[in-house]
Amino acid sequence: MTYPLEGVRVLDLSRVLAGPFAGRMLSDLGADVVKLEPPQEDLSRLWGAVIGRMPGYFHQQNAGKRDICIDLSVLEGVELARQLAAKADIVIENFRPGVMDRLGLGYQRLKAQRTDLILLSITGFGQDSPESQRRAYAAAIHAESGLVKRQARDGRPPQDIRVSMSDTNAALHGLVAVLAAMYLRQTTGLGQHIDMSMLDATVVTDDQLLYHLEDSHDTGPAVSDIWETGFGPVLIAGDFRHIWRQLNTRAGVKDHTRDGASLEEKIQQRRESAATFFRSLKTKAQVQEMMESLGLAWGEVRDSSTLMGSDTVRHRGVLTEVDDRAGGLRVIPQTPYRFSNAEAAVRGGAPHRGEHNEEVLRDWLELDDEDVGRWLDSAALVAAEL
């Protein structure tokens, strides 16, 4: 079996998450992804446990890539970046709008040397919006899109969600756009400049938005409840009215509501009866059997650190191990793409800054020893820290 994107070259100029995650997925699909890292390093090298001098956050988003460290503040560095871009099928960047042009790496400049180049630009608010120059991290987009305020429950203040959804959504929508552009260029021979906004991607992926736009909250499903069992807390998906109906008619849970009780009293009594019943389930097997008999979807309220305790995670290899750069192995999420007759997988650990300077010069630019030496001695490249 072969990788779907084998032979595709990607130059990844992006930082932190939105761009790097798109690059990581392209690598998992077989592309040769070269990360162009500045001398100051990607900010995400500051986050996560350090193993083999490799921080965990950077490792997860850049696994399988090669790394070349180029100083774009000098003309030689920009020229080298242009030469690499001319050899790339795809370039990824997530600078603020205008930065690539100021660097001399804007789409029109790159397109002039390769007309079928696909440039994916991920920004917070788009290339040409009135707010295009605002700094944007996922949390800011969560606030602007309404997600933060939506988290307020039971009188609690609004709070951010604990996953960088706006970054990863933009990355995945950007990935879809890149693959569509690759398909289109087979017939047109032309590339594309893809303007992917984190705000756009977050809004279009928000399946709850219509209830807020149309003030129709009472028409949507209720928030799923978490119930304590003898096995531990479980979330049961669905409206409590349906859950109660199943408990009452299939499991024989009695309704002890007194005659003439108010609606609030009736709901409270039924919830107490349900809670007592769920606490009587002592093992995971009992919970599983009961949920199946009631036709209810449920989930163990699991700490992320215990994912390996999931039968499905182990069976499907949702988590895998790669070289930790210190003589051992390191756990990392596996690619989610499963094909019937093609391969996809994380293809190694993340690179050190500038680790593949010479290798990339030889592979992509096909330079001889003299030219490689000239670039390595120039101000364009920063030596690897191995």
User: Which residues are tagged catalytic?
Assistant: 167
Task: Find, among 164, 135, 132, 172, the residue nearest to 147 by Cα.
Answer: 164
Task: Find, among 236, 241, 211, 217, the residue nearest to 225 by Cα.
Answer: 236
CB count, 10 Å around CB of 190?
A: 13
Residue 339: both structure tokens together = 């094909």
Q: Is 317 left (phi over 0), alpha (psi -120 to 50) or beta?
A: left
Token pair 């389930």 is found at 281
Measured distance CA(305)–CA(39) in Å, rounded: 34
DSSP three-state, residue 164: coil
User: What is the maximal distance between C-alpha atoms in the chain?
Assistant: 94
User: What residues pair up with 36 in beta bridges, in sequence order?
Assistant: 68
Contact 229, 236 (CB under 8 A): no
Q: How far apart are the first and last CA of the chain?
A: 34
Q: Angle formed by the axes of helices 369-376 and 357-365, to 10°?
A: 140
Amino acid at 235: L
What are the two backbone dihedrals, phi and then psi, of residue 88, each rounded to the nearest 5 degrees?
-95, 150
